[in-house]
């Protein structure tokens, strides 16, 4: 029998759709394709709400249980895990309305806003690390920014297979420091986004330190990276960067601008009065 082109494509599509009979979900549409499976929008008939359903190619449902126990504003909550009639594992999670990070950057957010996003991601990482969970595949496609500016980190615990080489640490076994690497790569990604002005060298240095080839040279914990970003935003010296003297003076100048101007005003007043008097 001969399978025509149109039938072939039809079958490739239709037999790939998850069969949700027997579950409480109703398939709506495909949202995207991730590391280990496809994400669909679906409707939970029982609770009458829309959810995101991630259907895994192969049975690695164990991760879902681990992630379900993490409760953090930046970690997408998992509602349920299960198995489809065709044997595939799936999990239902909160349907996040928002933009993926690469799309979010297209809106040219300010540096402060971008750093805020990095901070949220870093906090989520720090939280997960203290609970013993590693993300392993952190990249822009796994970060979403909601309509109110909420930040979500998704696809936890997925072993990066083909992965995204630019965000994947060089070492073979992945641990917390690999997540730090990815966080640095994320920062770098946000700094060189099109439409943004030149990236401050201090921030580039922070990203570079996080992305050191030697894991021991990176920040030991996510909180340390965030602390350096804090220092940058407060106009203080950053741990990752040994800045040239003139830059240090400039920074000191701009950070203490008001005070320096006031002192200058005092000096000017004094000098002016003195010379006017003695004339």
Query: Can you give the binding site for another protein, defined by CB under 8 A?
Result: 1-17, 19, 21, 57-58, 85-87, 112, 115-116, 119, 161-162, 230, 233-234, 258-259, 262-263, 265-266, 269-270, 273-274, 277
CB 173, min distance to another protein, A = 18
CB 30, min distance to another protein, A = 10
Question: CA–CA separation, 120 vs 128, rounded Å?
Answer: 12
C-beta of 94 vs 116, nearer to another protein? 116
Are residues 90 and 56 in contact, defined by beta-carbon separation less than 8 angstroms? yes
Question: CA–CA separation, 36 vs 153, rounded Å?
Answer: 16
As annotated, the active-site residues are 137
Are residues 92 and 52 in contact, defined by beta-carbon separation less than 8 angstroms? yes
C-beta of 115 vs 176, nearer to another protein? 115
Report the largest interatomic distance among the alpha carbons of the chain, rounded to a whole angstrom: 111
Q: What are phi and psi of 240, to 5 degrees?
A: -75, -15
- Name the helix (H) or strand (E) containing 26: strand 25-33
- Name the helix (H) or strand (E) containing 25: strand 25-33
**Sheet with 89-94, side-by-side order of all strands:** 25-33, 37-44, 49-56, 89-94, 78-83
Of the candidates 255, 163, 132, the one whose C-alpha atom is nearest the C-alpha of residue 202 is 255
CB 88, min distance to another protein, A = 9
C-beta of 166 vs 273, nearer to another protein? 273
C-beta of 147 vs 234, nearer to another protein? 234
C-beta of 54 vs 177, nearer to another protein? 54
Question: CA–CA separation, 223 vs 208, rounded Å?
Answer: 16
CB 233, min distance to another protein, A = 7
CB 125, min distance to another protein, A = 16
């Amino acid at each position: 029998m001969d399978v025509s082109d149109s039938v072939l494509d039809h079958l490739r599509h239709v037999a790939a759709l998850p069969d949700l009979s027997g579950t409480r979900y109703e398939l709506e549409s495909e949202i995207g394709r991730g590391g280990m499976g496809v994400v669909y929008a679906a409707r939970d008939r029982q609770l009458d709400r829309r959810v995101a359903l991630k259907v895994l190619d192969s049975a690695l449902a164990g991760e879902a249980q681990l992630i379900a126990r993490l409760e953090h504003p930046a970690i997408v909550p998992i509602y349920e895990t299960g198995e489809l009639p065709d044997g595939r594992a799936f999990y239902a999670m909160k349907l996040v309305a928002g933009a993926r990070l690469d799309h979010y950057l297209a809106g040219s957010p300010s540096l402060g806003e971008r750093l805020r996003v990095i901070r949220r991601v870093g906090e989520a990482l720090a939280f997960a690390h203290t609970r013993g969970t590693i993300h392993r595949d952190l990249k822009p496609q796994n970060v979403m920014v909601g309509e109110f500016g909420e930040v979500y980190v998704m696809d936890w615990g997925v072993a990066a297979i083909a992965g995204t080489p630019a965000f994947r640490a060089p070492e073979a076994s992945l641990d917390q420091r690999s997540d730090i690497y990815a966080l640095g790569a994320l920062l770098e990604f946000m700094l060189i986004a099109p439409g943004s002005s030149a990236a401050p060298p201090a921030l580039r240095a922070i990203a570079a330190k996080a992305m050191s080839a030697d894991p021991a040279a990176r920040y030991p914990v996510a909180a340390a990276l965030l602390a350096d970003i804090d220092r940058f935003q407060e106009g203080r010296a950053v741990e990752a960067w040994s800045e040239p003297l003139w830059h240090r003076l400039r920074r000191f100048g701009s950070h203490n601008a008001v005070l320096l101007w006031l002192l200058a005003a005092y000096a000017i007043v004094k000098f002016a009065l003195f010379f006017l008097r003695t004339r």
